[in-house]
Amino acid sequence: MKGDMTLDEYLALQLQDPEYAAADAVEAPFSNLALNVWSLREMVGLTQKQLAEAAKMKQPRIADIERDEANPTLLTISRVAYALGVTASDLLAEPDEARLAKARALVEASGASRTKRSRGTRVHAEAAETSEQAPRRHRATA
C-alpha cells in the first residue's frame, strides 16, 4: 500500500482496475458463502460435524467451505442451506454484520481455544478485531 492509505482507500483504488474488479466480483459469492455458513452454524449451535451430517456430507467439506477453500456445487450449497434453515441465495448474499458480530461473541463466550478452532474461525475472529475488511483472495480461472 502507498503511504498513509487506508485499506478501504487501497481497495477502492484496486477496484478501478477492470481486471481486479472482475476477479473480485467472481470471488465475492465464495467469501460470502464462507462467512454465512460459519456464522449461521455458530448461531444455531451446530458443530461442523453436525452440520455435515445434516447436509449429508463429510465434516472436512464444511471446513473447506468455511475457510473459503472450496468450490461447492449448487447441490452442496442447497444441502447446507437446507440444513441451516435458509435458502441457497441467503448463503451467497452479503453477510449480515449483526449476525457476524453475534457469532463472534458466541465463539468468544464459549471459551474455545483458538488453537482448537478451525483456521477459518480464527480468520473470522481476527477480522472482527479490525474495522476494515481484508482483501479477498482471488481464485485462478480457467
Domain boundaries, the chain: 7-128
- Considering Cα of 126, then 59, then 87, then 24, what sign does the dihedral take? positive
Q: Is the distance from CB of 67 to CB of 60 less than 8 angstroms? A: no
Residues 6+ apart with CB under 8 A from 131: none
Cα separation, 140 vs 101, in Å, equals 31
Q: Are the C-beta atoms of residues 100 and 129 closer than 8 Å to each other?
A: no
Q: What are the tens digits of pLDDT across the range 39-58?
A: 999 999 999 999 999 999 99
Is the pTM higher than 0.75? The answer reads no
Residue 87 three-state SS: coil
CATH architecture of 7-128: Orthogonal Bundle (1.10)
Task: Write out pLDDT tens, residues 57-72.
Answer: 999 999 999 999 999 9
pLDDT digits (tens, 9 = 90+) for 25-38: 888 888 999 999 99
- Who contacts 21 (Cβ-Cβ below 8 Å, separation ≥6)? 15
